[in-house]
Structure 1
Amino acid sequence: MLRVLFVGDVYGAPGRRVLGAHLPVLRHRFDFVVVNGENAAGGFGLHREAADGILRAGAGCITLGNHAWHHKDVFSLMLDEERYPIVRPLNYTDPGTPGVGWRSFDVRAADGTTERLTVVNLLGRVFMEAVANPFRAMDELLERPDLGNVFVDFHAEATSEKAALAWHLDGRVAAVIGTHTHVPTADTRVLSGGTAFQTDAGFTGPRDSVIGAAPGGPIAKFLTERPHRFGVAEGPAELNGVIVQMAGGRALGVDRYRYVEGEDDGHSQ
């Protein structure tokens, strides 16, 4: 059995700080850690400093999302595949797109057995930018042999699209965990076919914020109906994640995880 920790969207310097401090404390409890780094660089995208910090903290793989291309750094990072195990959305299908949409890892579990883990990143289409169909992209990928336990980070806006994909893939992948909306949902469960699902893992960033931003900017935008600059909020940060136990391509269990700086030692739900 593999115990996999997935950490939701790391947001800005506060998210990198709490990840860097708390993930090393947790790392020994898990066989593999996947971290979404979509917002790690000032709230938008990933740069080298953020990627290095995430990997030093104990991540084995970094997933992305709709801000994948925000920083020029990411192009060179994707070329350095051995040092930077980055997975960008699979459904950017142009042949010239840098990077890869999935990666397989042979992971040694605590009991001494080795299980294959394949990490996939997908981008939703409802209320998002135009990309290829994520449902079709996964159907095509799953025709490949030897993927083992498939973990899907579905970076999408609509809860309905996330749930529909999970049911579409139920029994064919070990987990479908949503990201992007930054608020952890309470629908954590293993579906009838053996796929772990949660609509959104939540984010890893400043607790007293509007999904990571200092409240003043979003409030001004809503009040005036005009664009306003958003800055990363300060103060205590939280880490949100999902723990999936898996073997033989199916989930055996799933739990939410949350830690807040200065508040507790972290807890599963």
Structure 2
Amino acid sequence: MKILFIGDIVGRPGRNACKKLISGIVKEHAVDFVVANGENLAAGNGMTFATYEEMIDAGIDYFTSGNHIWDNKNIIEYLDDSTTHVLRPANYPQEVPGRGVAIIEKNNKKLLLINVQGRIFVPANLDDPFTLTKKIAEENPDLPILVDFHAEATSEKIAFARYLDGNVAAIVGTHTHVQTADETIFPAGSGYITDVGMVGPIDSVLGVEKEIIIERFLTQLPVSHKVASGEVNFSGVLIEIDPEKKICTKISRINKIINLNE
């Protein structure tokens, strides 16, 4: 089983890069499932149903998210609809719209997708993602499991992955928009990378116009974010899973730079 997991897609430049690149990557690597973090789809702030549909048409099977999924109210009314392929972190209160776990089925193959959010340096008072994810994994022993751990702190991500080693097939980190070079397979068979990165403009600060973020640091005053333009870096990982043993057999980074004007 091969999975393409795409990092946080930032605004229109990120969406356009996905539309140009996904089909080729899927064909080249015989990918079974395409999953992406979509919390920055709409102008870098949340997701709308229109941007969701645009990316589904581009070849993405399912979306994970994080704290920014709540930035755009347009998508929230759709989160409880099981036909909407979007997860919000599972460790939010149960009263919150949406769900954090889904079984993806395609071409007679099944994958359990879990989305949870970290609790260090991320503004939210959430349930423990460690024990919750392990509980979900123990309740689904017959399915290969992929986890998107949307978190800020490297230490929290690594500890989370070490704790779950052998309970899930792979753990990918999202949120920082900077891809790490530490992809590995842990001793009990779980694939891991601290952060997948982003699909967003290179000449930017995490996808946002650099001048805006520099001003924020210089003045300490609130600013309105605007997605940058120019060449886009497409960051993702290819994950290979043994569906019988439910372990990761290979994980590798993808980085492609694309000029959207060509």
| Equivalent residue number for residue 119 of structure 2 | 125
Equivalences for 1:68-217 in 2 at 5 Å?
68-82=69-83, 84-94=84-94, 96-108=95-107, 114-128=108-122, 129-146=124-141, 148-217=143-212
Shift of 1:147: 5.0
Equivalences for 1:208-247 in 2 at 5 Å?
208-247=203-242
Shift of 1:87: 1.2
Check the 8 A contact 2:137/2:145 in 1, yes or no: no
Write the deviation string for residues 103-128 of structure 1: whole angstroms up to 9, x where unpaired: 012343xxxxx442111111000011
Q: 2:257 aligns with which of 257, 260, 265?
A: 260
- The 3-state SS of whatever aligns with 2:111 is strand
Write the deviation string for residues 16-42 of structure 1: whole angstroms up to 9, x where unpaired: 110111112222320110011011111
Question: Which amino acid in structure 2 is aligned with residue 70 of structure 1?
Answer: D
Write the deviation string for residues 42-84 of structure 1: whole angstroms up to 9, x where unpaired: 11111112101111111111111001112122123223322x2
- The 3-state SS of whatever aligns with 2:239 is strand
Write the deviation string for residues 125-182 of structure 1: whole angstroms up to 9, x where unpaired: 0011211110121122123135511000110000000000100000110110000000
Write the deviation string for residues 168-212 of structure 1: whole angstroms up to 9, x where unpaired: 000110110000000000001111110010000000111110001
Check the 8 A contact 2:6/2:36 in 1, yes or no: yes
TM-score of the aligned structures, taking structure 1 as reference length: 0.91
Question: Which amino acid in structure 1 is aligned with residue 46 of structure 2?
Answer: G
CA distance in 2, matches of 1:147, 1:134: 21
CA distance in 1, matches of 2:223, 2:33: 39
Check the 8 A contact 2:230/2:259 in 1, yes or no: no
- The 3-state SS of whatever aligns with 2:115 is strand
CA distance in 1, matches of 2:35, 2:110: 14
Aligned length: 255
| Equivalent residue number for residue 46 of structure 2 | 45
CA distance in 2, matches of 1:78, 1:230: 25
Segments of 4+ in structure 1 off by > 6 A?
none
Q: CA RMSD in A?
A: 1.4
Question: Which amino acid in structure 1 is aligned with residue 39 of structure 2?
Answer: E
Check the 8 A contact 2:212/2:223 in 1, yes or no: yes
CA distance in 1, matches of 2:147, 2:54: 23
CA distance in 2, matches of 1:257, 1:143: 31
List runs of 5+ in structure 2 lacking aligned partners: none
Check the 8 A contact 2:134/2:167 in 1, yes or no: no
Shift of 1:244: 0.4
CA distance in 2, matches of 1:58, 1:45: 20
Check the 8 A contact 1:35/1:63 in 2, yes or no: yes
- The 3-state SS of whatever aligns with 1:142 is helix
- The 3-state SS of whatever aligns with 1:51 is helix
| Equivalent residue number for residue 57 of structure 2 | 56
**How high is the sequence identity, in percent, across the aligned residues?**
36
Check the 8 A contact 1:15/1:205 in 2, yes or no: yes
| Equivalent residue number for residue 266 of structure 1 | none
Question: Which amino acid in structure 2 is aligned with residue 142 of structure 1?
Answer: A
- The 3-state SS of whatever aligns with 1:257 is strand
Question: Which amino acid in structure 2 is aligned with residue 13 of structure 1?
Answer: R
CA distance in 1, matches of 2:176, 2:141: 32
TM-score of the aligned structures, taking structure 2 as reference length: 0.93
| Equivalent residue number for residue 2 of structure 2 | 3
Check the 8 A contact 1:182/1:200 in 2, yes or no: yes
CA distance in 2, matches of 1:176, 1:44: 24
CA distance in 2, matches of 1:224, 1:76: 37
Check if 1:249 corresponds to 2:246.
yes
